[in-house]
Chains A and B, each alone.
Chain A
Amino acid sequence: MSLTADDVKKIAHLARLGIDQQNIDNYTQDLSRMLDLMTQMNDLNTDDVAPMAHPLDQQQRLRPDEVTEPNQREKFQSIAPQVENGLYLVPKVID
């Protein structure tokens, strides 16, 4: 299975991952080889196998509906790239 540079650009965009033009070919090659490795699974018939999402067959535990978290805005925002009036600032969002 081999990918094209365009495929990689598309995936990189989905993942919002900037990749230098000169490295696209490297990633394309590496990913194609990774896919080759992964397609080895196709040798295995898994028709009647239930997918396994977790190692243990446990069920979700439920938390009581209680407010337990205090306001820690100052602490949390002390490490933020850009804040003003308690808001995180980002480049303009367009609806």
Chain B
Amino acid sequence: MEWEVVIGLEIHAQLATKSKIFSGASTAYGAQPNTQACAVDLGFPGVLPVLNQEAVRMAVKFGLAIDAEIAPYSVFARKNYFYPDLPKGYQISQFELPIVGPGHIDIEVDGNIKRIGVTRAHLEEDAGKSLHADFHGLTGIDLNRAGTPLLEIVSEPDMRSAKEAVAYMRKLHELVRYLEICDGNMQEGSFRCDANVSVRPKGQQELGTRTELKNINSFRFVERAINHEVERQIDVIENGGTIIQETRLYDADADETRPMRSKEEANDYRYFPDPDLLPVYIEDSLKEQVKSELPELPAAKKERFMSQFGLDQETAGILTSTRELAHFFELTVEASDNAVKLAANWISGDLLGALNKQSLDITESPIDPVRLGGLIKRISDNTISGKIAKQVFETMWHGQDSADDIIEAQGLKQITDSGAIEAIIDTIIANNPKQVEQYLGGKEKVFGFFVGQVMKETQGKASPAEVNKMLKQKLKK
């Protein structure tokens, strides 16, 4: 039987606020345990939550960026359950009236654009962490993360393959960083993903029973975990079994999913409006203001790069994959006196390659746009050849000098004096009569030998175009 896979994702993006969503404690990552958990985060008796305005703004920003409805009136609700990393015995979340309503995100898989529906996005507080390192058989609880603002972004079950799921997740990841509402750091848990996965016979309308996969916090894991789960489900069904609706944990080490023991019993969360918080009203004026501050979004930027710079789809996609990279490119273009093609090639090729090799981010590039632009300028005005440029780039990577300084200091300037090149060519022709004879006899290949000799003689500094032209003239019968 042919199976169709149905996937919906729930993404938790930690919002990049300075303080927590309902308290004035810091959200900075990596502090000593429980040093950033104040009385409100700890759920002490009598303490009360007050909503962080920046968290609201960020949610609105996200909503506007995915063409979603921003609820004029939204409500915080309590989700009640007991867990040691949940200090109050309830999580403040949004249930019936989320701040962001239906919107959408376009993804691209194998050259096709597909629109994925976003059902909703709501604000909620993060929980703390349970540390399972052995404390005489006990678990340690760190509540520093408790109360960190989260935007939970829930998609429609619109994805039909793990590949699509990853594309959607990447797109969201790119977007939240573009909007500067989330640092996107997946290692630190700033951007987390749960997947709802089901299968159904192709052509069937009704959805199959789904399982929820938790703890799939890298793009690679998402793809692998979903594929494993799909295989498992098909296997179960084809062997006459039925899928149980359950939460499963992806174990990256074993590369398999297994049921989560703590989620075995069906939870009854007893949602109700949090009486400690009042309804949130989003005025049109706030929406307008946030809209006016919205950065150019990835899709629009890509369009512009294609039309303004004449880049192809692929290169424009690479250069707009992060806001920082796009910015880097635009600054480089400027510094290179608009050598657009060269800038695009150098950044998407040599620079990203070098960065990747050292696992560096574009923001950590040892060569800044001004220096890179300076190098490109010298290629485009024929001061140096592309080959020499790679040598200059290498030197720039390890130092602080400008391209011009390096070219000057190492004497790498292209020889443009045609008299000097002519003299060298004449000498080479005179010293290699056998090769001249071969060439004139029709062995075109030997031409390369002459070019090589000239380059060797000039240490690569002669303009290849000039050398070609002159050699052709000289070698004419």
A residues sitting closer than 8 Å to B (CB atoms) are 14, 16, 53-54, 58-69, 71-73, 76-77, 82, 84-95
Q: Is B278 an interface residue (CB 8 A)?
A: yes
Contact, CB under 8 Å: A58 / B39: no
Closest beta carbon of chain B to A1's beta carbon, Å: 19
Q: Is B211 an interface residue (CB 8 A)?
A: no
Contact, CB under 8 Å: B135 / A93: no
A sample of 15 inter-chain contacts (CB < 8 A) reads: A14-B270, A59-B278, A62-B56, A65-B18, A67-B25, A69-B19, A69-B25, A69-B40, A73-B32, A76-B44, A84-B135, A86-B35, A89-B139, A90-B138, A95-B262
A59-B281, A63-B53, A65-B54 known; A88 and B84 CB under 8 Å? yes
Q: Which one of B53, B54, B261 lies within 8 Å of A95 (CB-CB)?
A: B261
Contact, CB under 8 Å: B260 / A95: yes
Residues of A within 8 A of B131 (CB): 87
Complex Cα distance A92/B139, Å? 5
Contact, CB under 8 Å: B34 / A77: yes
Q: Is B142 an interface residue (CB 8 A)?
A: yes
Contact, CB under 8 Å: B262 / A67: no
20 extra A-B contacts, CB within 8 A, seeds A59-B281, A67-B25, A82-B138: A53-B273, A59-B278, A59-B279, A59-B280, A61-B278, A63-B24, A67-B24, A68-B24, A71-B35, A71-B36, A84-B135, A86-B34, A86-B142, A87-B135, A87-B142, A90-B139, A90-B141, A91-B139, A93-B85, A95-B261
Contact, CB under 8 Å: A72 / B38: yes
Q: 7 shortest A-B CB distances, which residue pairs?
A: A68-B24, A87-B140, A62-B53, A65-B54, A69-B38, A88-B141, A60-B278
Chain B residue at minimum C-beta to C-beta distance from A56: B278
Q: Which one of A62, A85, A94 lies within 8 Å of B52 (CB-CB)?
A: A62
A86-B34, A87-B142 known; A62 and B51 CB under 8 Å? yes
A62-B56, A67-B25, A77-B34 known; A88 and B140 CB under 8 Å? yes
Residues of B within 8 A of A77 (CB): 34
Q: How many residues of B contact A (CB 8 A)?
A: 55
Q: Is B198 an interface residue (CB 8 A)?
A: no
Contact, CB under 8 Å: B39 / A60: no
Contact, CB under 8 Å: A89 / B278: no
Residues of B within 8 A of A58 (CB): 278
Q: Is B26 an interface residue (CB 8 A)?
A: yes
A-side binding surface: helix, strand, loop or mixed? Answer: loop
Complex Cα distance A16/B82, Å? 8
Closest beta carbon of chain A to B145's beta carbon, Å: 13
Complex Cα distance A63/B50, Å? 6
Contact, CB under 8 Å: A93 / B142: no
Complex Cα distance A86/B278, Å? 34
Closest beta carbon of chain A to B280's beta carbon, Å: 5
Chain B residue at minimum C-beta to C-beta distance from A72: B38
Q: Is B406 an interface residue (CB 8 A)?
A: no
Q: Is B284 an interface residue (CB 8 A)?
A: no
Contact, CB under 8 Å: A89 / B262: no
Residues of B85-125 whose CB lies within 8 A of A: 85
Closest beta carbon of chain B to A63's beta carbon, Å: 5
Residues of B within 8 A of A53 (CB): 75, 273, 275, 279
Contact, CB under 8 Å: A66 / B19: yes
Q: Is B132 an interface residue (CB 8 A)?
A: yes
Complex Cα distance A79/B132, Å? 23
Residues of B28-50 whose CB lies within 8 A of A: 32-40, 42, 44, 50
Contact, CB under 8 Å: A67 / B52: no
A86-B35, A87-B135 known; A63 and B52 CB under 8 Å? yes
Residues of B within 8 A of A63 (CB): 24, 50-53
Residues of A within 8 A of B36 (CB): 71
Complex Cα distance A69/B39, Å? 9
Complex Cα distance A62/B139, Å? 36
Q: Is B17 an interface residue (CB 8 A)?
A: yes
Q: Which one of A54, A65, A67, A93 lies within 8 Å of B53 (CB-CB)?
A: A65
Closest beta carbon of chain B to A80's beta carbon, Å: 9
Select the residue from A68, A73, A77 with max chain B CB neighbours within 10 A.
A73
Contact, CB under 8 Å: A92 / B137: yes
Q: Is B268 an interface residue (CB 8 A)?
A: yes
Q: Which one of B137, B140, B261 lies within 8 Å of A85 (CB-CB)?
A: B140
Q: Is B468 an interface residue (CB 8 A)?
A: no
Contact, CB under 8 Å: A54 / B275: yes
Complex Cα distance A75/B278, Å? 31
Contact, CB under 8 Å: B24 / A73: no
Chain A residue at minimum C-beta to C-beta distance from B23: A69
Q: Map CB proximity to A onto B381-419 as digits: 1 under 8 Å, 0 otherwise.
A: 000000000000000000000000000000000000000
